[in-house]
Structure 1
Amino acid sequence: MAKAFASQGDMTEKKITFDEVGEGLWAFTAEGDPNSGVIIGDDSVMIVEAQATPRLANKVIEKVREVTDKPISHVVMTHYHAVRVLGASAYGADQIIMSDTARAMVVERGQEDWDSEFQRFPRLFEGHESIPGLTWPTTTFSDSMTVYLGNRRVDIRHIGRAHTAGDAVIHVPDQNVMFTGDIVEDHSACYCGDGHFNDWGGTLDRILAYDLDAIAPGRGGALVGREAVNRAIDSTRDFVNSTYAPAARVAASGGTLKEAWDAVRAACDPKFADYAIYEHCLPFNVARAYDEARGIDTPRIWTAERDIEMWNALQA
């Protein structure tokens, strides 16, 4: 390769924050690294997103223990990506929950995704030797399911394709708070390499319809208050649209992937260059946008080899 992926050189430790987004609801965030969520029920705790390794999951557990000594009974994955799921064994939870579609994606591409992400973002796999293998759910759902943590109701729903085909959101009605996974980001680039650009906006509309009081997004800071919630939804929508439209124009005219890359950079750099992981995501976002615009509905599987092939094409 002419040069390394931006993520390969990102070795700076990120500052962890742990913010309460509703009564008994917490967002574990780390300056654009993958977030986790904490839902404290009457007798037990639900974790949203496991982190990439058991060692990193223990950082979440340390924060949980600062606010409650209740056992962790459930871990919910909003989607299948390695950086979200491979730390699940650390929690000792009775139930690990994914959508049916997310589980199918682990079957189809889980190992390839692990290999790809490990190659391009090594810092997020601190303690990778402690990963026991692919994470498999004990419980899956098609459209929705409800979990009761004592009297606390937690609704887990698949409301549309966006970041992946199997995205789930987790809504806690008593506080009107949602954990969105990577469907919504705050001042962080969306990773769209396995995404569905033409569906993403409709899925954001369904989140907007909840009229939420707070969101714990997939990356970026906790969003408390409707002004912050709406701002992040709007900026996420702008990011997705600003990435797809230039690539689609190039694809429609028979242009190359490299031409799509140049067009997306021209549109997005002025607005998003200061977003966390922007450079990390951009090549994968452009490749997926270019594919979708050419009629490839199911994202092609990323492998360590395909990553390098794509990157070389963009650097030519």
Structure 2
Amino acid sequence: MTKAFASAGDMEEKKTSFTKVGEGLYAFTAEGDPNTGVIIGDDSVMIVEAQATPRLARKVMEHVRSVTDKPISHLVLTHYHAVRVLGASAYGAREIIMSDVARSMVAERGQEDWDSEFDRFPRLFQGHEEIPGLTWPTTTFSDSMTVYLGNRRVDIMHLGRAHTAGDAVVWVPDQEVMFTGDIVEYHSACYCGDGHFGDWEDTLANIAMFEPKSIAPGRGDALVGEEMVAKAIAATADFVNSTYKPVAKVVARGGSLKEAWDACRAECDPKFSDYAIYEHCLPFNVARAYDEARGIDTPRVWTAQRDKDMWASLQG
């Protein structure tokens, strides 16, 4: 039986949670949907990840206003994907921050990604009519930058390629808490369609070197406590490696994309089939792993048509 395309069949509203991960630090989560982080400073608030639409951003704001009435001054976008950035206008932040590589990816493939993700996630894009256009940063950085929210220091860093080439993480040193975007997931499939398999585990190791006491991941429950943090980092590395290695073996012997798909499923299904968005991500992940194993360093741009052609050939 042909599976519904990506998450087109998932129209059930998710239960949201708002979890304290440190003093003045919160993670908005929604059962495997994209997460958003909240950092409360002395006189203003920083949001990490905007959500897909202003409608969803307002849901985040309802939770924010339950704990603080301070204005939103900064919005950090860890990467360029539409489900993370297109709700930005709802926050009214005076600064929108991305890495310079993430900004270049908005310019190179932002519209194509929007069109692609619109079909992949119809539930997340309800109310899309309010989106004013592509989200552009007001501020970019190359390796790192520091923002002070009053006396609260926030470090925004690029620790390596992983989910995308331009991934940023946000570190709050006074609480030793990190907001990782989609570099780290918890009981949710990693989307690797724009990823860099060969770099991902090293980037996870760079995160682990900070010894975070808590992490707000890209998807899945907030990770409170060092034991849960370590478990999620290890599981993310296992997911990425379990996806790439069987595909790379197929490529090495000159096998086809469909053979790579079968090999990946054999390795990953027993371990990850109950993860959120697993079936959604798998064809995109295999296609990217197949390309990387053949030496294609820069992920090819996903378009709405390429999505559907690839889905039909693998999940059809």
Question: What's the TM-score, normalizing by structure 1?
Answer: 0.99
| Greater than 2 Å deviation, 4+ residue runs | 1-4
Partner of 2:13: 13
TM-superposition CA deviations, 1:277-315 (whole Å, max 9, x none): 101100100000000000000000000011111112214
Partner of 1:296: 296
Partner of 1:133: 133
Partner of 1:34: 34
Distance in 1, matches of 2:77 and 2:315, equals 35
Partner of 1:247: 247
Partner of 2:46: 46
Whether 1:220 aligns to 2:220 is: yes
Distance in 1, matches of 2:145 and 2:299, equals 26
TM-superposition CA deviations, 1:167-219 (whole Å, max 9, x none): 00000000000000000000000000000000000000000100110000000
**SS in structure 2 at match of 1:146:** strand
Q: 1:83-122 maps to which residues of 2 (within 5 A)?
A: 83-122=83-122
Distance in 1, matches of 2:122 and 2:252, equals 36
Distance in 1, matches of 2:155 and 2:312, equals 43
| Consecutive unaligned residues in structure 1, runs of 5 or more | none
Q: What number of residue pairs does the alignment pair up?
A: 316
Once superposed, what is the RMSD of the aligned Cα atoms?
1.0
Distance in 2, matches of 1:134 and 1:120, equals 18
Q: 1:1-316 maps to which residues of 2 (within 5 A)?
A: 2-315=2-315
Q: CA deviation at 1:3?
A: 4.3
Distance in 2, matches of 1:227 and 1:213, equals 9
For structure 1, which segment, 190-199 or 304-313, has the greater mean C-alpha deviation from structure 2 after superposition? 304-313
Distance 1:315 1:204, change over 3 A: closer
Distance in 2, matches of 1:68 and 1:135, equals 26
Distance in 1, matches of 2:3 and 2:25, equals 42
Letter in 2 for 1:251: V
> Contact conserved, 2:5 with 2:308, CA < 8 A, in 1?
no
**SS in structure 2 at match of 1:122:** coil
Distance in 1, matches of 2:272 and 2:12, equals 20
Distance in 2, matches of 1:194 and 1:149, equals 32
Distance 1:307 1:37, change over 3 A: same
Letter in 2 for 1:100: D
Which has a greater percent of helix? Answer: 1
- Between the two proteins, what is the percent identity of the paired residues? 79
Distance in 1, matches of 2:5 and 2:308, equals 9
Letter in 1 for 2:46: M
Distance in 2, matches of 1:272 and 1:44, equals 40
Q: CA deviation at 1:146?
A: 0.1
| Consecutive unaligned residues in structure 2, runs of 5 or more | none
